[in-house]
Amino acid sequence: VEAARARGVPEPFIVLRYAFRNALIPIVTILGLQFAILFAGAVLTEKTFSWDGMGTLLLNSIDSRDYAMIQGTVVVYAFIIVIISVIIDVINGLIDPRVRY
């Protein structure tokens, strides 16, 4: 950034080209993880408003001790979180070419 300023590159170009891309990486990571946490919060929301969904299914299966259903819903939740994490990593790789896996 300092070298670009020394060469006389306009400030908006410097911000968009260099600073914005570096600042965007933690923002994308946090937003993606918050999106994953949103699924975990759906359990409480579904129970509070009596909506039928995976959260209600999980809580009902816990109440009735249906262990196969508990395992199934937990695996689905884990799969969703893993997919979201992979998408976040791919987006971070597109934003910053230095990130390689």
DSSP string of 56-97, one letter each residue: HHHHHHHHTT-HHHHHHHHHHHHHHHHHHHHHHHHHHHHH-T
Low-confidence ranges of the chain (pLDDT < 70): 101
Note whether 91 and 99 are within 8 A (CB): no
> What pTM did the predictor assign?
0.75
pLDDT of res. 101:
67
pLDDT of res. 46:
87
Any residues with CB less than 8 A from the CB of 29 and at least 6 apart, and which?
Answer: 88, 92
